[in-house]
Amino acid sequence: MTPPRPGGVPGRPGAADLPPPTQTAELARLAVELLTASGRTVAVAESLTGGLVTGALTSIAGASVVLRGGVIAYATDLKAALLGVPADLLARQGPVDPDVAKAMADGVRRLLGATYGLATTGVAGPGPADGKPQGTVFVAVAGLSETCDDGLGRVAGDRQHVRDATVRRALSLLVRALREDNS
């Protein structure tokens, strides 16, 4: 089995794509550049990251051209009420689930009229929540062709590390989607 990379899961494809913490600003810059060059936009739905993804994007000059806005849906009921996540999905799976992340991404994309929707949901800790252990994280992007998630699922570390790693994972997934759609 492949050893885990920071923020990755042993043996899971994609773990090697996770950049080190120093690259958050670089990923945000690259996302803004790719969006600008393609004339596309993004909207962000955040739960455990509480605005950190949107903050990383807005720290880049020119983001106002491509960032439609963000929704912090920290409470489970807001995921349904604001983002249109199906209530039966939330009741069945709980708020920390890859399908919930996908529904959040699609919902924020539609709500804010963006080309892409990007979403984060998970358990930063300390300790478990909603039956999921600390570090369970899902990110998703809804774009031109399909809605996908990064398939990793777990991040080791304390609360701040989990949140920071989730921001990098979300931005990495957005950059990957933009590159695929632009190729």
What CATH number does residue 172 fall under? 3.90.950.20
Q: Is residue 150 part of a domain?
A: yes
Domain span including residue 80: 20-182
What mean pLDDT do residues 59-63 have? Answer: 97
Rama region for 111: left / alpha / beta (φ>0; ψ in -120 to 50; rest): alpha
pTM for the model: 0.87
Determine the residue type at 117: G
Q: Is residue 14 part of a domain?
A: no
Q: Is residue 91 part of a domain?
A: yes
From the list 52, 45, 47, 48, the residue with the least C-alpha distance to 68 is 45
CA distance 153 to 7: 9
DSSP β-ladder status, 42-46 and 137-142: unpaired
Q: Is residue 168 part of a domain?
A: yes
Q: Is residue 75 part of a domain?
A: yes
Per-residue model confidence as pLDDT tens digits over 127-167: 999 899 999 999 999 998 777 777 677 899 999 999 999 99
From the list 15, 33, 114, 108, the residue with the least C-alpha distance to 68 is 114
Q: Is residue 82 part of a domain?
A: yes
Q: Is residue 11 part of a domain?
A: no
Per-residue model confidence as pLDDT tens digits over 73-103: 999 999 999 999 999 999 999 999 999 999 9
Count of domains forming the chain? 1
Q: Is residue 1 part of a domain?
A: no
